[in-house]
Structure 1
Amino acid sequence: MRIAIAGGHGQIALLATRLLADQGHEVWGIVRNTAHSPDLEAAGGHALVLDLEATTPEVLAGELQSRAVDAVVFAAGAGPGSSAERKLTVDRDGAVLLADAAPLAGVRRYVLVSAMAADAFDPSSDDVFQIYLRAKSEADAAVRARDLDWTIVRPGGLTDAEGTGHVTVAESTGRGSIPRADVAAIVAELLASGTAVHRQFEVISGTTPIAEALGGLTG
């Protein structure tokens, strides 16, 4: 399988790239900085250099099509300390851009890494975190509305702890945390198995093996 990951230099993306590459898949990390290429290559992937804030669905689709991409992942984010405006232009608009580009390139499979409790944002607040949640919620809604084989993953608080391979998955799990390594493993499993199409779920650390937890989700 050929996979493109938006936000390819992020921690979850790099971990997923290594897992997927080790399974024999070809991974293209979409990044805007050419200096990130060596890190992608070290993880077993390749760099697709393109600024998602300064392109069109047609241009992105051309890049995906030229690489014969079979599936896409949105794991991009403006990052800590970024402005409210960039929460919208990256976390929301970037996800929508990829959702618009995918069908133009003949790609149906779309995995979106979102955030726990995204729909609980305060629409009257100008707090950056509330706008971040709004961006994630609106991105999720836009992807759900597309004719794609989408899956939306809403992890709890992200940690750098070693992955356990065991999780709790539910429409609403309650508050909790999860290692980035386990989120990356979930992304890899979703792509490899093709499971959980048209499902949106929260996930935190738990006691169920990842493949079993995802296999329990039905479309």
Structure 2
Amino acid sequence: MRIAIAGGHGQVARHLSRTLTARGDVALALVRQLKHVDDVSNDGAEAVVLDLERANARDVAEAVSGADAVVFAAGAGPGSGAARKDTVDRAAAGLLADGAQQAGVRRYVLVSSMGAGAPPPPGTDDVFAAYLVAKRSAEIDLRSRDLDWTILRPGGLTDGLPTGTVTLADRVDRGRVPRADVAAVLAALLHEPRTTGRVLELVGGSVRIDDAIAALRL
């Protein structure tokens, strides 16, 4: 498969590029800056410089043309304010969908967040609340589209070593999960078309990733 990854220089995305390359897929990393090209190339990905906050749908369609799937793994990142949570975590996710539809790429996997299934609870930090609102809006938009979508909501992300075991279901208790395991689950979901139309939550656990996906009621 040829898979275009938005937010290609992010930590989950770089793990994903390495995972896909190792299994014989082609990863196409969409990055915002030229200085990121060498990093993602070293991961085995093909780099395309494209700023989703400045691009239009035609730009995105050209970038992902020929791909079998797209993954939205972009995020405004730590230290960004509420405005960029909206322009990246919501608007850029929708723009990737627009471009994918123009290019005829049907498979779309969205990296969302636990907590995005409902409005933020009272008392939530303003910026984190904006993040959850943006993720929720991106989910709602994607679910309305004629695409073969899957939404993955990881728990708290860590830099721990990959375990290869997780808890994956429609609903799971809150927890944490290594970014490398998130990437491994994304790679497996991309290769399991029967997860289309599913919203899945993910935290660390004791079930091997392939077994966790096989155990879903597909």
How would you bin the TM-score normalised by the shorter chain?
over 0.9
Deviations 1:125-163 (A, max 9, x none): 780100100000000111111111111000000001111
Going from structure 1 to structure 2, the CA distance change for 1:62 and 1:123 (only over 3 Å counts) comes to farther
Pick one of 94, 99, 108 that aligns with 1:101. Answer: 99
Instruction: State the match for 2:198 in structure 1.
Output: 199
SS in 2 for 1:96: helix
In structure 2, distance between residues paired with 1:196 and 1:166: 19
Question: Does 1:153 find its partner at 2:152?
Answer: yes
Please give the residue correspondences for 1:124-203 in structure 2 after superposition, counting only pairs within 5 Å: 127-203=126-202
Give 5+ residue unaligned stretches, structure 1. none
Q: Give the C-alpha shift of residue 123 in structure 1.
A: 8.4
Q: Give the C-alpha shift of residue 217 in structure 1.
A: 2.5
Going from structure 1 to structure 2, the CA distance change for 1:79 and 1:59 (only over 3 Å counts) comes to same
Give 5+ residue unaligned stretches, structure 2. none
Instruction: State the match for 2:8 in structure 1.
Output: 8
Instruction: State the match for 2:47 in structure 1.
Output: 47
In structure 2, distance between residues paired with 1:196 and 1:148: 12
Question: Which has the larger displacement, 128-137 or 167-176?
Answer: 167-176
In structure 2, distance between residues paired with 1:176 and 1:123: 18
- Name the amino acid aligned to 1:112: L
Instruction: State the match for 2:62 in structure 1.
Output: 62
Deviations 1:74-127 (A, max 9, x none): 000000110100000000111111111111101011111100011333388780
SS in 1 for 2:74: coil
Question: Which has the larger displacement, 31-40 or 169-178?
Answer: 169-178
Identity of aligned residues (%): 53
- Name the amino acid aligned to 2:196: V
SS in 1 for 2:17: helix
Deviations 1:16-37 (A, max 9, x none): 1001011111111111101000
Q: TM-score of the superposition, structure 1-length normalised?
A: 0.95
Q: TM-score of the superposition, structure 2-length normalised?
A: 0.95
